[in-house]
Amino acid sequence: MAESSIGRVLQTLSLIDINTYQTDLQGGIPSQSNQMSSTTVEGNHQVASFLYLEPDPRHEKEKPYKLRYEPGEGIPRSNVSNEKQDGIVVRDVRNEEQESLAERGYTWVNLQSALSPDEFYDETKVKEIYYAELRGLLQKLLNPKRIEILEHNVCCTSMTKARAH
């Protein structure tokens, strides 16, 4: 898979993975002005607009990145640009036959977490419970030698602060 395709897949997964939240990928922060827009077509399928990583020759030698913090003087927060693509059909596959990872290069799984929706705002519970659930799922699905979950992002910071108090 080409480097720009990987970036497209990762950013698309980021948008889809958050399911009920809409995020502005320019900064990884929810935005009222730059939300994913969608309209229903048939059933639960949606037509949406997504931001994709623009192909850039420098990404052949330098990994694309967007930092969520100020890295210091002389270091840019990002080395990527996004391009918006309209008319992307997003299928609701929850009731469809599962695709073969080996044949298609993707699949979907249902993970019933022990965490309640509100507990996903508790960083300790996410790291202790949800990370363990993800490791178990990935171990079963892929059988890797090692699994490292590096970080996670809670996309609605105002909700996080409100629920923490």
Alpha-carbon gap, residue 44 to 58, rounded angstroms: 39
pLDDT digit of tens for each residue in the chain (165 aa)? 333 333 333 333 333 333 333 333 333 333 333 445 556 566 778 888 888 889 899 999 999 988 988 888 999 999 999 899 988 888 888 777 888 888 888 888 888 999 998 898 898 999 999 999 999 999 998 899 999 998 887 776 555 555 555
Nearest Cα residue to 109 out of 22, 8, 17:
17
* pTM, 2 dp: 0.52
Domain boundaries, the chain: 1-95, 109-165
CA distance 62 to 24: 23
